[in-house]
Chains A and B, each alone.
Chain A
Amino acid sequence: MANESEFKESAPQITFEQAIANLRQTEDIGDRYYAAWWLGRFGTGEPEVINLLLVALEDTQDRAPDGGFPLRRNAARALGKIGNPSVVSALIASLECSDYYVREAAAQSLEALNATESVEKLVSLLAGGVEAAIEVPGKPHLVQPYNAILEALGRLGDTHIVPIVEPFLAHSTVQVKNAAARAMYQLTGQGSYAERLVETLQCDDLQLRRSALLDLGEIGYLPAAAAIAETLAENSIKLIALRGVLEKEISAANHLVSSQTCDVMKLMDSLL
């Protein structure tokens, strides 16, 4: 149970004023890095906070041994949580950063901010298609954060980008394939794509089962409800996935209680 990362949030160690001061100063890189994370987690979108995070997004002082920009990564993530449309152009610019993890965070944050104007730039990162989507020698990742890009495109794009996303269904990495399936379902509404995720619920790898559960919850695919409940994984994750399915159905039908929603709730009750 201890490894379900489900304990109540421990009390933050610094105050809001301290976090702002720590993010503004440039002497202590560690304090600044933590403040950017803290403000994304506990802060709100005051202009002062947003402006400091935008400055941090262009920081050149905090460098990782591999040349990455740790502070920029935290700033990009925080902006996705507490940002507003005014930060979208800065995040789009960050998609060109040399640091893979900054690009990944920027793509996720653009998705969270529902920034449809980022579609063109996101599509450009898929240039070269599946053939170009290979590992970077000596790094634990591919040349682009394909999962984050495909997931963002699924949410933000429209049917025009189907021909660009579809080839990634055949990528050799399961995570990329799943991200493409999820996006294709969102772009086309065709159940056959979501069924690929349902199949993943049966695989031997617990990590993949967990991520397929969360994907199905994210897209709210109602026909998967029973399969979600039966998957070999923690009840906590299955409940999150079923909540996604339930809420999607409620929004679509504009009814809290129907025979469909009751069926999902019965499954949820059995997992409590």
Chain B
Amino acid sequence: MSESNLLLQQRLRAVEAADCAQELLDSVEALAALADEGAVDALIRVLGYNNPGAAVAAVDGLIKIGTPAASALLTQIDGYNYGARAWALRVLSGIGDPRGLDLILETAVEDFSLSVRRAAARGLGAIQWEKLPKERREQEQSRVIQSLITVLEDVEWVVRYGAVVGLEGVAIAAAQEGFVALADPIVGGLSDRIKKDDTLAVQARAQWALSQIQLLEQH
């Protein structure tokens, strides 16, 4: 067994052996730090343990692992209870795998929990577009923009803030692809926020996003 494999086995065993909340948290953090594909199943199990600290560490680890973690979650997520599903959606939002796009879109608009909507809105700005066939990108980006413009009206300020960050991300991706027409609805949505959002922090983030997008357009 190679040295790195040995370490993985050791840390997997530590997570299984943990018999109190603190031990679980420490062992999950150690396992997550390896960012090893072999940890995916164990980290996914932690999402269902109803231990928020350990779940946060598992989410971070799964996001670092990336595509293999997204693949595993996408095949399993339908069977999850609400709590595990919420954590899984955070992971998918953090990875930005386009195979999860429909789920992330739905989550950003209508999930029950504001922190899950917030993570999904932000995640929509960081989709791995290069993994999608070139001919589908413009249409899918346009769909993301439409959803995020809806999320700009969320009742929670922090979700609206996340939607602004998401829109900035899509705007940058669209500009890189040369999809000039996609900038207009984004600029419209952000200008609207600057004028009428009742939260100063959202206004400021929208103003900052808008100025970054206008810089892109000049180049």
Contact = CB atoms under 8 A, between A and B. Distances in A.
A interface majority secondary structure? helix
B116 interface: yes
Given A4-B115, A257-B211, A269 B165 contact: yes
B114 A8 contact: yes
B191 to A, nearest CB: 13
Interface stretch (A50-58, A100-108, A141-149, A246-254): A246-254
Interface in A17-43: none
Interface in B183-199: 194, 199
Contact of A272 (B87, B161, B200): B161
Interface of A: 1-4, 6-8, 234-236, 239-240, 243, 246-247, 250-251, 256-257, 261-262, 265, 268-269, 272
A272 B122 contact: yes
B52 A8 contact: no
Nearest to B207: A256
A272 B116 contact: no
Nearest to A3: B52
Given A7-B113, A250-B200, A265 B208 contact: yes
Contacts of A6: 113-115
B205 A1 contact: no
Going nearest first, the 5 A-B pairs with the smallest beta carbon separation are A272-B122, A256-B204, A256-B207, A247-B200, A243-B201
Given A256-B204, A257-B208, A8 B161 contact: no
Contact of A1 (B113, B155, B201, B207): B113
A236 B115 contact: yes
A1 B200 contact: no
A113 to B, nearest CB: 20
B113 A265 contact: no
Nearest to B211: A257
27 contacts: A1-B52, A1-B55, A1-B83, A1-B113, A1-B116, A7-B112, A8-B114, A236-B158, A247-B201, A250-B200, A256-B194, A256-B200, A256-B207, A257-B204, A257-B207, A257-B211, A261-B204, A261-B208, A262-B208, A265-B205, A265-B208, A268-B205, A272-B118, A272-B119, A272-B122, A272-B161, A272-B162
Contacts of B122: 269, 272
Contacts of B157: 243
Given A1-B52, A6-B114, A256-B208, 17 more contacts: A6-B113, A7-B112, A8-B112, A234-B52, A235-B115, A236-B158, A239-B161, A250-B200, A250-B201, A251-B200, A257-B204, A257-B211, A265-B204, A265-B205, A269-B165, A272-B122, A272-B162
